[in-house]
């Protein structure tokens, strides 16, 4: 059974310090049994970061996306309406966060009395601490992980990314690299529920992250990762600015670097087409926009 004190000692050994702003991607189950469950991890983080520090976590709610769009162009009109009726209405504050990566950590953070949540139907963040307001206020609707997003504000604060029991497929800061490298596929649209009967097309939808794992050995070689255990879990701490810069450099060398290799991944196949041919890109974008 791991205690808060042991978890805090592991975090300090890894390099977490008082006053840092840290974006945490955690699978608490990987740590093993803790004295107060997943809350032990949050308490240990807040203890080490101190009153000047800030914890930030993704609280994504992909269930508010248009299921008819996901199902593709073959969805009959009546069926699209039926699918859309199953999507919950997002109030922007209390919607349960989808555990990404799996685990209840975002929910634990969200229930903290000092938690602040950014408003976005599908890509919101929750923060606790000195910079929580700065990180979460006035989050943009379009390009939700771009230059005005909580991710970019963390970058402004010289913040850190902490992975606990998960790999880089959870490392959403690399979407900021995609935006800043201006790869053609970042301008894609997604339709999301924004009101009782309102569906809004959002530009700059970040998609597949399965290819992100490819960056790990390069980060290690470049001494960007600090690695060690947190309980039974493997953990990695990195300066977000270094991570994002490396992502930008790699994408400038190869625009498809962060796309996955799964032949059945329709999204990455589309992204490769958009990368290869700007004309195709325009056509594909137009096709998406015109879809009812």
Q: Which residues in this chain contact Zn ion in the complex, by CB under 5 A?
A: 208, 260, 265, 268
Distance of closest approach, residue 8 Cβ to Zn ion, in angstroms: 37
Distance of closest approach, residue 210 Cβ to Zn ion, in angstroms: 5
Distance of closest approach, residue 255 Cβ to Zn ion, in angstroms: 14
Q: Specify the residue, 157 or 213, whose C-beta has the smaller distance to Zn ion.
A: 213
For the chain, the distance separating the N- and C-terminal CA atoms, rounded to the nearest angstrom, is 54
Q: Specify the residue, 24 or 208, whose C-beta has the smaller distance to Zn ion.
A: 208
Quick one: tokens of 161? 């990314």
Q: Phi and psi for 168 in degrees, rounded to 5?
A: -75, -5
Q: Specify the residue, 160 or 212, whose C-beta has the smaller distance to Zn ion.
A: 212
Tokens 């990762």 label which residue? Answer: 225
Quick one: tokens of 23? 């974006």
Q: Specify the residue, 17 or 214, whose C-beta has the smaller distance to Zn ion.
A: 214
Q: Return the C-alpha torsion angle 91, 55, 30, 1, nearest 10.
A: -110
Distance of closest approach, residue 271 Cβ to Zn ion, in angstroms: 8
Q: What crossing angle do the helices spanning 38-49 and 4-14 adopt, rounded to 10°?
A: 50
Q: Specify the residue, 110 or 169, whose C-beta has the smaller distance to Zn ion.
A: 169
CA–CA distance, 63 with 67 (Å, rounded to integer): 8
Distance of closest approach, residue 269 Cβ to Zn ion, in angstroms: 8
Please report which helix (H) or strand (E) contains residue 252, including its range.
helix 240-253
């Amino acid at each position: 059974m791991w205690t808060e004190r042991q978890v805090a000692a592991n975090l300090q050994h890894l390099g977490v310090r008082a006053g840092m702003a840290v974006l945490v991607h955690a699978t608490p189950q990987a740590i093993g049994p803790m004295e107060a469950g997943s809350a032990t991890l949050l308490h240990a983080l807040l203890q080490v970061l101190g009153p000047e520090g800030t914890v930030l976590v993704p609280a994504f709610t992909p269930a508010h996306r248009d299921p008819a769009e996901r199902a593709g162009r073959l969805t009959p009109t009546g069926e699209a309406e039926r699918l859309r009726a199953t999507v919950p209405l997002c109030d922007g504050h209390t919607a349960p966060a989808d555990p990404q990566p799996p685990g209840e950590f975002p929910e634990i953070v969200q229930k903290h009395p000092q938690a602040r949540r950014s408003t976005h139907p599908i890509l919101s963040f929750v923060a606790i601490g000195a910079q929580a307001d700065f990180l979460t206020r006035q989050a943009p609707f379009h390009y939700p992980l771009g230059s005005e997003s909580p991710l970019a504000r963390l970058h402004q604060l010289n913040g850190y990314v902490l992975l606990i029991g998960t790999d880089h497929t959870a490392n959403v800061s690399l979407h900021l690299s995609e935006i800043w490298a201006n790869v053609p596929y970042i301008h894609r649209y997604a339709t999301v529920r924004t009101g009782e009967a309102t569906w809004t097309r959002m530009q700059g939808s970040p998609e597949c992250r399965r290819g992100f794992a490819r960056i790990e050995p390069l980060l290690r070689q470049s001494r960007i990762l600090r690695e060690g255990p947190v309980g039974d879990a493997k953990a990695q701490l990195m300066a977000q600015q270094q991570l994002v810069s490396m992502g930008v450099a790699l994408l400038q060398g190869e625009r498809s670097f962060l796309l996955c290799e799964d032949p059945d991944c329709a999204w990455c196949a589309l992204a490769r087409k958009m990368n290869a041919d700007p004309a195709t890109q325009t056509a594909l974008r137009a096709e998406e926009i015109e879809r009812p």
